[in-house]
Chain A
């Protein structure tokens, strides 16, 4: 028997020895590992977004910037620790948790700290009365009692959440199940159920596991009480809700300087918002930022810009410059470390890596120039005389014909990107879809005749760079150049029958004018010269390839390379037949944007290249190099076209328009356009002859003044029921140029 007892004892000692060895391994051999694990548990690192770079104009005026607003935040854990004790020896104030919020009795006071950091013992502490929140409430402009009411409501919500968390942890019921259960109970009984009441359904499971429950509760408290809640919208005691999007400076100061902790639990929280000070002006060019729409988009962003670049709060450039220069503009995220304080709350914060601000984008254009262009455009694009859907529509675009630097742009209608952004971006998405479908349809149909115009184009799409319409007679610049360079003769003294003629084809109509050669065609805008030359039986075969080639040469039906996201390509048929050639020669059955037409004018001005338009002058301090697409033009042909376009202004379809004292010494060279708006949706369908309008009115050209920078421009007024390009569109340019060359 003794031997058996001895064996039993040996067995137990062996087991204890095994435990001893295991503890040795834990405490001595792998000690470092556990120290690291504990540190990891006690501190958390999280990423904070860096501010986005600014977009500023040539004068340094901001077009887009991150603006910090300060809002009110509420930290439940701090609110729970509102009881304050002052040390009688050193005067330091200590905070202690109120048992009321920790499941203790409501009337039990908090106990003072055991010892002050100055060494004074517990009995030296004096309990400070709870100071009222009235000064802060006054500064915030909210009714008295609002803050403590809202805080108590929030504390109750968090308390409910804690109880549910405890049940889910200890009993293993999923949180979603608990919430469903709660809703079910509320539906059944017709009254609200608190988290504690729902938790009590699992009372038997929780009972007998008090320690586990208490620990789970502490854990949940530490996590949920430490998390700040935005106090943007909350209940007031008298009923109703209050919205505090940002707080007044007075309240901010009170909170920042609150050394005595009167407002413990309430703190300021900086929120960064993208702000567009010029509002609607340049909204399309500057673009907008939006949150990620889905997980896939976020992943794609991280794949492009690196892991950790996409945070839930990241706003990504969606359109315009914001989209085009995302790489430069985006802020680089930084890292913050949060550590649990003595109460287990994540309140101690240190910056591990400071977030970096994104680079600035500086534009060539000036906001004030755009403002003048916009006003000039508005005075022409009036509601009276507009025959399309929605508000009157038009666009203006001006660039340096040499470098492609965008000097001014304006369009109407526009939108304020500071408000209703979600609505706008939704429209962008919808319209982009429509346009993409249209382009796909165009590609697939090999098409020949039709334009597929946008159904009721929204305000979100740029009239300058996205929406292409028929350029009408403005296209004759390309037509005449192409014919002069084709190598075959063109009529030098052409007798046009004027508004009507007896023989077929009757169309297109023309104006009343005398004999015309190529110059006269551009000055008087003779339709029949162009149409007859284009469809001439002798050269038709050549023209079916020549016309698309020249359209391509002038950058039509292709993106210009403008530095915005969402530029349109326009349309140009690839294999036109004879009838279509007649249409194309006068800018019908095709579509071009003002940007594309201004490039055409630029090539005429410089004679050698198509400049790639750039809005940005510098990105992050580095200049954006000009890009030029060579386009060799025959000097003789070019001279004749310039003469014709100059004639347009001096004696042709735009005569008198530029006879202004401000434009003395300025040479304006241009071409008018009055295009039949064929889009079935752009205009109301009517039984009328489509050539009876409405019309898109254009003026395209350039202006030079010795000693000044030349300007190439294009302006379009959409769907006008009356007037012609010379009378309506050219004055917009005249008004702009008057200001431009004077300033």
Chain B
């Protein structure tokens, strides 16, 4: 099968919806970046083209060969994380490494590589039906998780966890087992959060700011000054949107959102919400729902297990990012640095998203014939 064949047979609804979301993202970034000396919107457009090219690259080989190469890919991603960790000196190593003139964020790519690795290990295994079988996928997740937490990039690290659960669930793991592991994980995480040195001060402050905003009405106003300033400004921007968005009579969107920190990146949603209002937000959520639906329906059509897990993994990756990002900007979840797929400004994030789209298209275009072995129960 050639790229042309794959392009012809690929489920086009997925990339079309992704491009639509990217276009919405670029216009919103243009609004958010108004007045900034850097032309973020154009840079995002350029990244989108780079992403599209990368997606074509992923379409070139059969996805089974990519899955087969998972140990190499996993090792590559993990070692990049290690490089990032030890590259710098000082209090933290940062999360970027320079590649030529670019800087890239290995943790972004690691998300996708982890999906590949998990899909590969789960495909013919039935071990995960037993609790003991959790060990292997868990080790696969824990290694990059701890590396990313150390960067520190709590937001990306947090994404690995639901990815793990979603894939095991899709693979047929027992609900009680999953719940038990989740409970143990939560207890361990809360415990670790209080061990000095595990979380940076600002991370801990953000978590506590979120808790305070939700439990103590008095604290809400006091915290405006401190760490939840960002959240508060975000909520203000969203609230200003009303039904149809901020009109120019009210000073315009730029005016309404200028005080939201990180409004180009993690807090892009408040800018969108301010500009397009509740009706716009409803449209955007439907768009995301349609996109996620399109991805998942691809998984439904695929019988081959590793392809299926790949697509479910990609679905989980996108879904979790969308829910966590929106959840934090509307104040339902704590503020962790999770990008909103296709909307948030950022080369690595957009590139990863398009690579993931490429994978979904590849799987969707090339459903290999199932060779007799029963893969997964259809229960």
Contact = CB atoms under 8 A, between A and B. Distances in A.
Interface stretch (B49-57, B66-74, B165-173, B184-192): B165-173
Interface string B74-97: 000000000000001111111110
B330 A204 contact: no
B91 A26 contact: no
Instruction: Kindly list the 3 A-B residue pairs having the minimum CB-CB distance in the complex, ordered from nearest.
Output: A34-B239, A215-B261, A211-B262
A27 B96 contact: no
A34 B235 contact: yes
A27 B238 CA distance: 6
A8 B240 contact: no
A1 B296 contact: no
A151 to B, nearest CB: 22
A260 interface: no
Nearest to B303: A1
A219 B327 CA distance: 25
Contacts of B312: 5, 8
B239 A9 contact: no
Nearest to A3: B379
B103 to A, nearest CB: 9
Given A19-B326, A23-B281, 9 more contacts: A1-B378, A8-B169, A23-B273, A26-B239, A27-B242, A35-B240, A41-B259, A211-B265, A342-B255
24 contacts: A4-B172, A7-B169, A9-B296, A19-B285, A22-B331, A23-B278, A23-B281, A24-B278, A27-B243, A27-B277, A34-B235, A38-B236, A42-B255, A99-B37, A172-B205, A204-B88, A204-B92, A205-B91, A205-B92, A211-B264, A212-B262, A215-B261, A216-B261, A342-B255
A208 interface: yes
Contacts of A502: none
Contact of B241 (A16, A27, A207): A27
A344 B319 contact: no
Interface string A215-252: 11011000000000000000000000000000000000
A1 B170 contact: yes
Contacts of A99: 37
A34 B233 CA distance: 10
Nearest to A108: B37
Contact of A8 (B201, B273, B315, B330): B315
A26 B330 contact: yes
Contacts of A271: none
B94 A207 contact: yes
A468 B95 CA distance: 80
B159 to A, nearest CB: 14
A34 B236 contact: yes
A411 B206 CA distance: 68
Nearest to A20: B285
A28 interface: yes
Interface of B: 36-37, 88-96, 105, 166, 169-170, 172, 201-202, 205, 233, 235-243, 255-256, 258-266, 273, 277-278, 281-282, 285, 288-289, 292-293, 296, 299-300, 308, 312, 315-316, 319, 322-323, 326-327, 330-332, 345, 376-379
B290 to A, nearest CB: 11
Q: Interface size for chain A: under 10, 10 to 19, 20 to 34, or 35 or more residues? A: 35 or more
A549 interface: no
A430 B354 CA distance: 79
A632 interface: no
A38 B256 contact: yes
Nearest to A219: B259
Interface in A1-54: 1-5, 7-9, 12-13, 15-16, 18-20, 22-24, 26-28, 30-31, 33-35, 37-38, 41-42
B255 to A, nearest CB: 8
B34 to A, nearest CB: 10
Contacts of A12: 289, 292, 319, 322-323
Given A8-B169, A22-B331, A344 B258 contact: yes
Contact of A5 (B238, B285, B300): B300
B273 A27 contact: yes
A356 B128 CA distance: 80
Interface of A: 1-5, 7-9, 12-13, 15-16, 18-20, 22-24, 26-28, 30-31, 33-35, 37-38, 41-42, 99, 102-104, 170-172, 203-205, 207-208, 211-212, 214-216, 218-219, 342, 344
B209 to A, nearest CB: 12
A15 B328 CA distance: 12
B292 A9 contact: yes
B203 to A, nearest CB: 10
B37 A33 contact: no
A22 B278 CA distance: 10
A2 B378 CA distance: 7
A9 B285 CA distance: 14
B327 A19 contact: yes
B299 to A, nearest CB: 6
Contact of A172 (B201, B256, B262, B315): B201
Contact of B323 (A1, A19, A30): A19
B264 A104 contact: no
Contacts of A19: 285, 323, 326-327, 330, 332
A67 B301 CA distance: 86
B281 A27 contact: yes
A379 to B, nearest CB: 66
A3 B240 CA distance: 40
A203 B94 CA distance: 10
A8 B308 CA distance: 14
Given A12-B323, A214-B36, A208 B376 contact: no
B300 A13 contact: no
A171 B227 CA distance: 11
A102 B296 contact: no
A304 B236 CA distance: 39
Contacts of A170: 202
B99 to A, nearest CB: 15
A41 B251 CA distance: 14
Contact of A27 (B91, B239, B255, B285): B239
A12 B165 CA distance: 14
B236 A18 contact: no
A19 to B, nearest CB: 5
Given A211-B262, A219-B259, A4 B330 contact: no
Contacts of B277: 27
Contacts of B105: 208
A211 B239 contact: no
A2 B288 CA distance: 21
